[in-house]
Structure 1
Amino acid sequence: MPHLMFLQILFGFSILATAIPKPNAERVINKGLSNEDHYINTQHNPAYDHDVFLGEEAKTFDQLTPEESTRRLGIIVDKIDNDKDGYVTQEELKDWIMYTHQRYIRDDVERQWKSHNPDGKDKISWKEYSVMVYGDIDDYEKERQDKSDDDSFSYLHMQKRDRRRWAAADLDGDDALTKEEFTSFLHAEQVDHMKDVIVLETMEDIDKDQDGKISLIEYIGDLYRGTEDEDEPEWVKNEKEQFSLYRDKDGDGFLNTDEVKTWIIPADFDHAEAESRHLIYEADTDADHKLTKDEILEKYDIFVGSQATDFGEALTRHDEF
């Protein structure tokens, strides 16, 4: 039986994330920018900002002293200021966010492609992928997991979800993925033809009674599990209002597939644009709608944060700093 930690180490987390539901106070598809939740219990999550602004460098910055973190941020600011006029505009900040995002996608796909395709072939077949990841799930284990009625991690469920994603990403229907198709499999939020799969996965995560729709109880249960003697938090009341007033378009007390899609994949919403506006708002002390280097460095914790006092051995990438 494969061990979850072993699979994470061997293949990287991105593939596992396609099949492991993560309760989330905001399921709107923002995973293209960060694996962090944008909001936690309706409170803005600073780690999301750090992830979006820094990309893979976020983990490194978490280990830096405030002084070193500020110094490196200054180097990044000089890169963001494309026209070298001394100001970072919202458009320049948006471009940087998209750059870090695309760099993460490229690096992640390259790493996983090499891991799953050691022979460097043009395509990876489902059989090859499945054997590599799930090869020792035997018939007995499948039967045991089929009969399980708890919420524990299920490799069989994971395999089925990966199989469905694989089929959706396989545009030519040959049951093998090119590198481009494999990118869609790993990062389904990036391409339109994969979004219905994301909606279906969300429905399965929340729809506990499997009746094809999401009740208010299921919706709240995905976010919060309190005890009988515990006062309901204000943010839960707000989420109930969101469900009734905005999510449940037809007012029948449930979210159907179309309503879930409208919720998690809002039309014409640009996450990079929204995040760049947010960062400008947080750091723009003179309200001129652009940022000086000093304004950014003054609010370095918003952009990069810093949690450790001894970074020593933790530095992993030196080429840019």
Structure 2
Amino acid sequence: MFRITLTLTSLLLAVLATAIPKQDEKDAKRIIENDLSHKEHYPNEEAHNVEYDHEAFLGPDEAKSFDQLSPEESRKRLGVIYDKIDKDQDGFVTPEELRGWITYTQKRYVIDDVERQWKAHNPENKDAITWQEYRKLVYGFMDDTDPSALEKQADVEQDDNGFSYKEMLKRDRRRWSVADQDQDEALTKDEFTGFIHPEEAGHMRELIVIETMEDIDKDKDGKISIDEYIGDMYRGSPGEEEPEWVKSEKDQFVRFRDKDADGFMDKEEVKGWIIPPEFDHAEAEARHLVYDADSDKDGKLTKSEVLDKYDLFVGSQATDFGEALTRHDEF
């Protein structure tokens, strides 16, 4: 995604603010995260961190909200969530239903962002957006500006990775083509999700590797040196002492990133770095929660079993009721 400095007109600024995807902290880290929480689940062999379970079950934002509730309010709201998870309303939550809920909570930030950007790009709420419609909204200024002035402006204005408007248009066009699975030059909402969040779509991941290499490979030799790797995350000032974490990243590059020890990361090594091996964390967490809360060991959870172990699923404070949750998502 791109963060752009705009100077053409205030109108252009307003349009692009909603139209061009932005680089967020997750993108900046490069690595496609597939764990359910940044917290350690088992800090050591004997300790179990329930805060991991809270974030996995609720998502990090909702977990923080529950931390401000009393135990009574936590149980009440957990009961409402239970009813959502029990899709077939048979009075039991199976590991499969729980896995579906956990997957949903982890993808909620993507769902929200897709909804926002879909409305911004598709105010008429059509079934699909064509490339020409997207291009006109995001890059239409390139057609309406004096060619000589535009040429100079497009070569000067750059995003955080040094790409000009023309280069960004080219990259967007390529990404659009990959996201457009039926090749009809238009994106449905599902295809549009892959366009703005390629990390969420398996068929987009090869393109993520290519884009990452283009971002970091400053000398365009088709590989990434250790200086380019470090330069993507740290630019020190003259005379500044190198932080310890930078030294650690250099060690990571030598020991783990550059697998053939030739001093560079090639495409396959970059892929191994930013796309970790597949592991179904949601399924593992669902089975863990069922195992710990299933008092009669029948392999599924009743509402009473979940509420009896409410502190495994959600947090609370005994004295601070905090703010009420306001989300009314359809799951």
Name the TM-score, length of structure 2 as normaliser: 0.64
The secondary structure found in structure 2 opposite 1:177 is strand
Q: By how many angstroms is 1:16 displaced? A: 0.6
Q: By how many angstroms is 1:128 displaced? A: 0.7
The structure with the larger Rg is 2
The 3 A distance-change label for structure 1 pair 215 and 317 is same
Deviations 1:277-299 (A, max 9, x none): 9x97xx99xxx9x9975665278
Determine if the alignment matches structure 1 residue 232 to structure 2 residue 243.
yes
Deviations 1:220-275 (A, max 9, x none): 23333445443532x43433332222221211111111111122123433353577
Match of 2:153 in 1: 144
Match of 1:123 in 2: 128
Q: By how many angstroms is 1:115 displaced? A: 3.3
- Is residue 213–residue 257 contact of structure 1 (8 Å, CA) maintained in 2? yes
Name the TM-score, length of structure 1 as normaliser: 0.66
Deviations 1:104-157 (A, max 9, x none): 555544543343233444432211111112222444345334246884776714
Determine if the alignment matches structure 1 residue 28 to structure 2 residue 31.
yes
Matches within 5 A, 1:154-303: 156=165, 157-227=167-237, 228-230=239-241, 232-233=243-244, 235-273=245-283, 297=311, 300=314
The letter of the residue matching 2:243 is: E
- Is residue 29–residue 189 contact of structure 1 (8 Å, CA) maintained in 2? yes
Identity %: 49
The secondary structure found in structure 2 opposite 1:133 is helix
Question: What RMSD over aligned residues (CA atoms) do the two structures have, in Å?
Answer: 4.8
Matches within 5 A, 1:20-169: 22-24=27-29, 27-30=30-33, 38=38, 53-55=57-59, 59=61, 65-67=68-70, 72=77, 75-76=80-81, 94-101=99-106, 105=110, 108-137=113-142, 138=145, 139=147, 140-147=149-156, 151=160, 156=165, 157-169=167-179
- Is residue 75–residue 310 contact of structure 2 (8 Å, CA) maintained in 1? no
CA distance in 2, matches of 1:219, 1:296: 44
The 3 A distance-change label for structure 1 pair 201 and 48 is farther
The 3 A distance-change label for structure 1 pair 96 and 132 is same
CA distance in 1, matches of 2:152, 2:52: 40
Specify every segment of 5 or more residues in structure 2 that has no aligned partner in the other structure, as ranges: 1-7, 40-49
Paired residue total: 293
The 3 A distance-change label for structure 1 pair 7 and 149 is closer
- Is residue 248–residue 255 contact of structure 1 (8 Å, CA) maintained in 2? yes
- Is residue 198–residue 204 contact of structure 2 (8 Å, CA) maintained in 1? yes
Match of 1:43 in 2: none
CA distance in 2, matches of 1:268, 1:220: 26
The letter of the residue matching 1:240 is: K
CA distance in 2, matches of 1:49, 1:130: 43
